[in-house]
Amino acid sequence: MLLINIVCVCTAETVIAQQTPNKKGYAPVNNQKIYYEEYGSGKPLILLHGAFMNIQANWAHMIPELSKTNRVIAIELQCHGRTAIGPAPFNFDNLASDVADVCRYLKLDSLSVIGYSLGAAVAYNVAIKYPELVKNLVIISGVHKSTGWQKEGREALAGMEPEMFAGSELYTSYAAIAPDSTKWKEAFGKIMGLSKKPYDFGDENVRNIKAKTLLIAGDNDGTDKAVLIDTYKLLGGCQFADLGVLPKNQLAILPGHGHVSVMNDKDKLLALITPFLSN
């Protein structure tokens, strides 16, 4: 959810244009309409994008492969993509509720959920609040509490204003598909407000996550690795497996990667995610 996520509007949009969704539309939940697209068939897999992003920007390069073995449902959160600013406060509880209600609307259960950055925080909250829905959880470059981001990133967010991005790819991407492009400043304010606000889903809640969980981070992606290791320990990791049982949950740190590049490294991500979801 770091500011660096802002520049991560992938050039892979042309890839997704070659793959037509099986279904796309709006789920009428929580007095709003949440946009989603479906690809492939098989076990349901929910994709949750990062801040200021949309389905194409975040997932175009991965959907073709993920949809070979899964029914992929990619969701655009409030204030993002084709989903308008919602009537309820823009916070993690409401975002998680939106995702859970979209799943119920589509009659999905026993889900796998992959979240990146902002989407990773939402994915954590879905797994905590709606454990009956989530079977597998994949967290990419995300944290369950704001102190899990390095101090430098948190401080850099403080001075960001919408005018800084006039004419940028970030703005043009928003304006191209948003239900109302005149709402840019309002959407920006809500997203940045959430980014700047401290949050903590609770160590004990993470410890009690029932879903099998895979944590993925770049070695220099802005997440505090000491906090990440502590999180993995909460999930039962960091064991001496040769002297006991190999934990079901996994941790992967990809070398030579920042917050943006870790998401763009499709081959390495799929090499981790595909076998994890298949077991």
Looking up residue 88, the CATH number of its domain turns out to be: 3.40.50.1820
Residue 5 pLDDT > 60, yes or no? no
- pLDDT tens-digit map of 79-124: 999 999 999 999 999 999 999 999 999 999 999 999 999 999 999 9
Q: How far apart are CA 242 and CA 72, in angstroms?
A: 36
Beta pairing partners, 46: 73, 113
Structural domain for 27, as ranges: 3-278
53's CB contacts (< 8 A; 6+ apart) are 5, 8, 9, 80, 81
If one counts every other C-beta atom within 10 angstroms of the C-beta of residue 144, the result is 26
For 203-208, which contacts have Cβ atoms below 8 Å and span 24 or more sequence positions? 203/230, 203/234, 205/128, 205/144, 206/124, 206/128, 206/144, 206/231, 206/234, 206/235, 207/234, 207/235, 208/128
| pLDDT over 90, % of the chain | 82
Q: How far apart are CA 103 and CA 166, in angstroms?
A: 35
Q: How far apart are CA 227 and CA 38, in angstroms?
A: 34
Strands 32-39 and 70-76: antiparallel
| Residues listed for the chain | 279
If one counts every other C-beta atom within 10 angstroms of the C-beta of residue 146, the result is 16
* pLDDT of res. 166: 79
* Identity of residue 21: P
Instruction: Over range 57-68, report the average pLDDT.
Output: 96
Torsion of CA 217, 149, 81, 73, to 10 degrees: 40
Which has the higher per-residue pLDDT, 135 or 168? 135
Q: How far apart are CA 258 and CA 263, in angstroms?
A: 9
What are the tokens at 206?
């993470």
* pLDDT of res. 1: 45
| Nearest by Cα to 36 from 117, 98, 114, 126 | 98
Q: How far apart are CA 259 and CA 141, in angstroms?
A: 7
If one counts every other C-beta atom within 10 angstroms of the C-beta of residue 158, the result is 10
* pLDDT of res. 18: 56
Task: Name the pTM for this structure.
Answer: 0.94
* pLDDT of res. 15: 40
What is the total count of domains within the chain?
1
Which has the higher per-residue pLDDT, 214 or 109? 214
